[in-house]
Copies of this chain bind each other. A is one copy, B any other.
Amino acid sequence: MMSDTVQPTGSKPAQPDGSPPVQEAAPAFSPLYRQIKQRLVRSLQAAEWQPGQAIPSEMELAARFQVSQGTVRKAIDELATDNLLVRRQGKGTFVASHAEQATQYRFLRLVADAAPHEGTDTRLQRQLLTCRRMRAPAEVVRQLALKPGDPAVQVQRLLLANRPEGPVPMVLEDLWLPGTTFKGLSAERLVAWRGPMYRLFEVEFGVHMVRAEEKLRAVAASAEDAALLAVPAGSPLLLVERLAYTYGDQPMELRRGLYHTEHHHYRNELS
């Protein structure tokens, strides 16, 4: 590791080095704690610490970066609000992961209408339909920022709710991943995996999903989709198009979900 000192980008400590005064009208001023934050993100991106693992203590990081503990603290605070890190008093600060119970299906906003009765199994069953490798279609190339001709992995699956009368289809998902990053992904691995798919991505491919953007629409079920979801053709379905990002705002997954919302709904909090 090399010199790790940090300087504010402000104009007060006149830069003695011949650094160019090219101000592109935007950069303005980046406080120290944001530079620390960026460094931490880069460390996460470089997988210096794995999801679920602890990062160094605030004191250690302060020493490494040659700043006060308070400055490191502010950087970590922001990363914690961004859900990149998780603070645990008395224990340390940990890299966020999709393994913990609390955040397991963080991006799935579908909930049952009625308050679940005591003992109702709210977990969803999974049923893999397809998992294949191919050249990425144009739309996938565009959204995942691939190069034309790059490989992609397509996965299709059903999520089913556990009802007394048996499992009923609830969500039909169709998702696309960059083929180079997800080289070893196969139907076998997907079927064998217990737990959230995003956790599998962390464990097997070192990819942690940080955030996502979704576009929602109401659509009529095609004959094909209707059959898979066991609803009449033409039924209204909630179409959820998701673009999920990993560290550094890099798009990593394109997911198209069809939700059957007769007894469930998509929950959202506005503020």
User: Is A88 among interface residues, defined by CB-CB distance under 8 A?
Assistant: no
Indicate if the CB atoms of B217 and A238 lie closer than 8 Å. Answer: yes
Given A234-B234, A238-B218: A213 touches B82 (CB 8 Å cut-off): no
Given A236-B237, A238-B238: A268 touches B219 (CB 8 Å cut-off): no
**Chain A interface, number of residues (Cβ within 8 angstroms):** 33
User: Is A223 among interface residues, defined by CB-CB distance under 8 A?
Assistant: no
Which residues from B are CB-within-8-Å of A106? 270
User: Is A107 among interface residues, defined by CB-CB distance under 8 A?
Assistant: yes
CB distance from A55 to the nearest CB of B (A): 19
Which residues from B are CB-within-8-Å of A239? 218
CB distance from A214 to the nearest CB of B (A): 5
Given A234-B234, A236-B236: A266 touches B215 (CB 8 Å cut-off): yes
CB distance from A266 to the nearest CB of B (A): 4
A77 to chain B: closest residue by CB = B77
Residues of chain A from 217 to 271 with CB closer than 8 A to chain B in the complex:
217-220, 234-239, 242, 259, 261, 265-271
Known pairs A210-B271, A216-B216. 16 more at Cβ < 8 A?
A81-B81, A82-B271, A106-B270, A107-B270, A211-B270, A212-B269, A213-B267, A213-B268, A215-B266, A216-B265, A216-B267, A216-B268, A217-B261, A219-B236, A219-B261, A234-B234
